[in-house]
Amino acid sequence: MDLLLNSPEIPTEMLGGNFIDLVLRFGLNLLATIFVIIFVYFRATGKRSYVFTYILISTTIFFLCFLLGSIDLQLGFALGLFAIFGIIRYRTDTIPIKEMTYLFLVITLSVINSLASIEVSLSTIVFTNLTLMATTWLMERVWMKRHLARRSLIYDRMDLIHPDKRQELIDDIYERTGIEVVRFKLGQIDLSKKSVRLTIFYKEDITPNVLSDPEMSDKDFE
């Protein structure tokens, strides 16, 4: 046992201080990721499959960066290879911009929490995490509630496009789709097919079943 501890290939500090540092950093990273992904992202979208992906990516990148930072490698090159792998993998499916933003956020948190040098105080790392968490929460829960989503559709009720029947048109769209339209804009009118292209604007958080990508929300089935 003494021979193992005194071996130059296994520094004794790795059995103590480094391990505690690893546990503390990982705990902070996990708490920040859980808050951003589960308490902010999942509550807003209900997409359980992305939660699984984000948590695992965050954990994987954290340990990858932490361990690579402990050996004599050019970390930029190593992360470049990892980024190439990620691009190849995630280009197989189209990922919405919002989901890509959250992906970049969890990667950023993981890299910061794992690679911040000992010269950076713990309070600085915690403040950085709290700032990113608070900014995400404010943008998702405050800003996005005021945001109007936009969608184009072909509307077949030509009798309701008259300006005097604006409210009737809005009510008809709500009855047929469940979307509470705030306003709409008339587009191309096809008299031969008796249809018109409408651009509707609605509050996206009011209609969680209407998504900007093909994935259905898990909340629709609960």
pLDDT tens digit sequence for 30-44: 999 999 999 999 988
169: burial class by Cβ within 10 Å (0-12, 13-18, 19+)? buried
Element (H, E) at 196: strand 195-203
Q: Is residue 206 scored above 50 in pLDDT?
A: no
Q: Is residue 120 scored above 50 in pLDDT?
A: yes
pLDDT at 26: 94
Order of strands across the sheet with 148-155? 148-155, 195-203, 181-190
Which among 106, 114, 107 is positioned nearest to 35, based on CA atoms? 106
DSSP conformation class of 118: T
Q: Where exactly are the structural domains of the chain?
A: 2-146, 148-208
pLDDT-based confidence at residue 135 (cuts at 50, 70, 90):
very high
Q: Can you give the C-alpha Rg of the chain in angstroms?
A: 25
Average pLDDT over residues 77-92: 57
Spatial neighbors of 38 by CB under 8 A, at least 6 apart, are 51
pLDDT at 130: 95
Average pLDDT over residues 164-192: 88
Tokens coding 18: 């480094």
Torsion region of 46: left, alpha or beta (phi above 0 gives left; psi -120 to 50 gives alpha): left
13: helix, strand or coil: helix
pLDDT at 184: 87
Beta strands in 56-179 (DSSP E): 148-155
Average pLDDT over residues 53-76: 77
Average pLDDT over residues 68-77: 57
Cβ distance 41 to 102 under 8 Å? yes
Q: Is residue 208 scored above 50 in pLDDT?
A: no
In angstroms, rounded to a whole number, what is the distance separating the alpha carbons of residues 29 and 31?
A: 6
Backbone dihedral angles phi then psi of residue 91, each to the nearest 5 degrees: -80, -5
In angstroms, rounded to a whole number, what is the distance separating the alpha carbons of residues 36 and 182?
A: 29
Average pLDDT over residues 10-15: 47
In angstroms, rounded to a whole number, what is the distance separating the alpha carbons of residues 161 and 158?
A: 6
User: What is the pairing mode between strands 195-203 and 148-155?
Assistant: antiparallel
pLDDT at 16: 53
Per-residue b or e along 96-135, where b marks 16 or more CB atoms closer than 10 Å to that residue's CB: bebbeebbebbbebbbbbbbbeeeeeeeebeebbeebbee
Q: Is residue 177 scored above 50 in pLDDT?
A: yes
- pTM summary value: 0.60
Q: Is residue 147 scored above 50 in pLDDT?
A: yes
pLDDT-based confidence at residue 61 (cuts at 50, 70, 90):
confident
pLDDT-based confidence at residue 70 (cuts at 50, 70, 90):
low
